[in-house]
Amino acid sequence: MANIIGGITTSHIPAIANAMANGLEDTPYWKPFFDGYPPVRDWLNEKKPDVIILFYNDHGLEFFIDKKPTFAIGVADEYHNADEGWGIPTIPPVTGESDLSWHIANSLVEDGFDMTICQEMKVDHGLTVPLNLMWPGHNYGHVKVIPVCINCEQHPMPQPKRTFALGQAIGRAVQSFDDDLKVAVFGTGGMSHQLDGERAGIINREFDLMCLDKLVSDPEDLTKYSNFDLAEIAGAQGVELNMLIAMRGCLIGDVKELHRNYHAPISNTGSGLMLLEHTMPEK
């Protein structure tokens, strides 16, 4: 059986790639952020997951606002970066895992989640920045990645209740896959932030910290919020919290927090890094 060994929450902002490309990790601005990552990298290097299921939101590079899947899953063997800006050098492609991807896609549709299934899909900073953070120097080619996109750019967006349920359905789908694969799940983005408008720059540290606590001990409680609540409490782009909620939904067994680093502000965001170890329930 495929086994989910852990879950990780992390920021995905493009400025991180810029800082890494320019060797700024130890500067006063970036150090408190990057200092959080070595324990998570060590854990990944020790546990060596075969596959990462990665929840992120496409920021309009593959799915523009005129055609916006609510939920999309990639089933390709390879994914190319479509991000622009910041002067980032061209980065290597991301390796896919089509067998498990198709298994999850089939299982989700049977389970009532009408996924957009993508045999080709360009990926953006929501996916590539976290991979580079975990395997610096873009050394992520050995790990297979299954991208899962959740719309949080264009209303109507799926509510936290639904994104949590999507995660749970993916957890069950992984459990029903016969091959002995080690899987880790990433939820990228957030936490509180707003990029434009009158409240641009808003960060709600207290709410972010409460969310991190709840992601460990009582994730279902976070499903009481609507996306409008999240926008009000945590800024318009605070709805990226849905990625973290979906990730946590996949952890259908026992969870133990191994590491956490909250730092704000980093660019316009509160950054919540967390590593959760997961023990799969009996089948």
CA distances from 276 to 84, 162, 212, 219, 245 (A): 32, 22, 11, 13, 13
Helix (H, G, I), strand (E, B) or coil at 153: coil
Active site residue 278: no
Minimum Å distance from CB 251 to ligand DHB?
Answer: 23
Contact residues: ligand DHB, CB under 6 A:
13-15, 59, 189, 193, 195, 237, 240, 267-269
Contact residues: Fe ion, CB under 5 A:
189
103 contacts which partner out of ligand DHB, Fe ion, none, CB within 5 to 8 A by kind? none
The residue length of the chain stands at 283
| Gap between the Cα atoms of 49 and 60, Å rounded | 29
- Tell how strand 116-118 and strand 71-74 pair up: parallel
User: Secondary structure of the chain: what % helix, strand, coil (to 5)?
Assistant: 35, 25, 40
193 contacts which partner out of ligand DHB, Fe ion, none, CB within 5 to 8 A by kind? ligand DHB
Minimum Å distance from CB 204 to Fe ion?
Answer: 16
Name 145's Cβ contacts closer than 8 Å, sequence gap at least 6: 51, 52, 53, 54, 79, 94, 95, 96, 97, 127, 131
- Catalytic residue (choose from 12, 59, 138, 193): 193
- Catalytic residue (choose from 103, 125, 263, 278): 125
Minimum Å distance from CB 125 to ligand DHB?
Answer: 6
Minimum Å distance from CB 66 to ligand DHB?
Answer: 19
267 contacts which partner out of Fe ion, ligand DHB, none, CB within 5 to 8 A by kind? ligand DHB
Active site residue 125: yes
248 contacts which partner out of Fe ion, ligand DHB, none, CB within 5 to 8 A by kind? none
Residues recognised as catalytic: 125, 193
